[in-house]
Amino acid sequence: LEKKIAILEGRIPEKYPEVKYLGYKERKRILVTGGAGFVGSHLVDVLMTQGHEVIVVDNFFTGRKRNVEHWFGHRNFEMIHHDIVNPLYVEADEIYHLASPASPPHYMQNPVKTIKTNTLGTINMLGLARRVGAKILIASTSEVYGDPMVHPQPESYWGHVNPIGPRACYDEGKRVAETLAYSYAKQENVSVRVARIFNTYGPRMHVSDGRVVSNFVMQALQNLTITVYGNGKQTRSFCYVSDLVDGLLSLMESSYTLPVNIGNPVEHTIEEFAMIIKNLVPGCRSTVATGAAVEDDPQRRRPDIAVAEARLNWAPKVSLKDGLQRTIDYFREELSRTTFYNNQTY
């Protein structure tokens, strides 16, 4: 019924996107935790079009059914409403473990839950991988480097994290998730991959996600003040979501088992970034204002991607301008939808 309504409302096409036919020997059963979220749903699209069976597990904390609704009812697709803090018994050949809030305001909203998801949830997924002999990719983060003293950040850098600060629930949670992955690899022979994901953006970010790209684009589209936190001299490097998904797929395929940075090394200050977005929105009348700094905000971030280039033969392809243009187009659509639904985002 949900699919029918979506078709009637013109949100999704009547037919499924085309999927490749795979014989039972090539077709894998792939579990994607957090598959209804921003990154997960793009990954699901690629895996589905490749012809695999995909099981999405999500508790919809920050994800939405709408991100994957175009697959509802497809024979290769299954969706389980489940919180991975609780054990899960399914069969799978591969697991992409992405379930975790990723936006600072979201993960700080319930820090205990964030830690539970990244520790207990990761133990459950590693336990599942162990039981069924599945390969598992853990979505780690550049936040494991904290507010880095080494720039750009290579995988060999151990990081500079405040263990009791407001970001610790996420940063330390992900650091434990990495430790768990290598403990299960060593002790239980589980085949693990660890992606250290750097700031990623693109369509399907939630309008109220709270991260910088969605905030700035939404503000620019509505001629609202663009809110730079702190003096705007802090830097980030932004990767378009399709590039990230390519990187995750290459990492899963490869035999390289140590952590790999996946991100785009083009670095900008947040102040520059505000101006780039403002200039990409035609007729934008927003002003850019600086405000109070965020506690423990990392001051510089740029991935060293030499390992990904050498071991995965991967590098990002989408330029910031092209990626932002597609993202702005998406948020423009979202805004008209929001108005249509009486200011309710869903």
- Strand-strand pairing, 77-81 and 29-33: unpaired
Q: Is 104 in the site for ligand UDP (CB under 6 A)?
A: yes
Residue 133: φ, ψ to 5°: 70, 35
What size, in residues, is the chain?
346
The residue to which tokens 């069976």 are assigned: 53
Nearer to ligand NAD, 52 or 174 (CB): 174
- Strand-strand pairing, 77-81 and 94-97: unpaired
**Which residue lies nearest ligand UDP, judged by its C-beta?**
127
Which residues from 113-172 bind ligand NAD, rule CB under 6 A?
Answer: 117, 121, 139, 141
Six token digits for residue 79: 């969706």
264 binds, among ligand UDP, ligand NAD, none (CB under 5 to 8 A by kind): none
Q: Is 234 in the site for ligand NAD (CB under 6 A)?
A: no
Which residues from 200-229 bind ligand UDP, rule CB under 6 A?
Answer: 211-212, 215, 227-229
Q: Is 144 in the site for ligand UDP (CB under 6 A)?
A: no
CA atoms within 13 A on the CB side of 191: 14
Q: Is 113 in the site for ligand UDP (CB under 6 A)?
A: no
How far apart are alpha carbons 221 and 204 in whole angstroms? Answer: 16
Q: Is 137 in the site for ligand UDP (CB under 6 A)?
A: no
The residue to which tokens 């660890």 are assigned: 194
13 binds, among ligand NAD, ligand UDP, none (CB under 5 to 8 A by kind): none
Binding test (CB under 6 A) with ligand NAD, winner from 31, 53, 62, 167: 62
Q: For the window 5-44, what string marks contact with ligand NAD as x by the rule CB under 6 A? A: -----------------------------x-xxxxx----
Q: Is 101 in the site for ligand NAD (CB under 6 A)?
A: yes
Provide DSSP, 180-248. Answer: HHHHHHHHH---EEEEEE--EE-TT--TT--SHHHHHHHHHHTTPPEEEEBTS--EEE-EEHHHHHHHH
Exactly one of 16, 96, 145, 170 is catalytic; which is it?
170
Nearer to ligand NAD, 58 or 284 (CB): 58
Residue 3: CB minimum distance to ligand NAD, A: 19
DSSP 39: H
**Known active-site residue 170:** yes
Binding test (CB under 6 A) with ligand UDP, winner from 297, 326, 330, 338: 297
121 binds, among ligand NAD, ligand UDP, none (CB under 5 to 8 A by kind): ligand NAD
Helix (H) or strand (E) holding 53: strand 53-58
242 binds, among ligand NAD, ligand UDP, none (CB under 5 to 8 A by kind): none
Amino acid at 150: V
Chain centroid, CA 127 distance in Å: 23
138 binds, among ligand NAD, ligand UDP, none (CB under 5 to 8 A by kind): none
Number of other CB atoms surrounding residue 278 within 10 Å = 18
Six token digits for residue 260: 């790999």
How far apart are alpha carbons 335 and 338 in whole angstroms? Answer: 5
Chain positions contacting ligand UDP, by CB under 6 A: 87-89, 104, 123-124, 127-128, 130-131, 199, 211-212, 215, 227-229, 234, 236, 270, 294, 297
Positions marked catalytic: 170
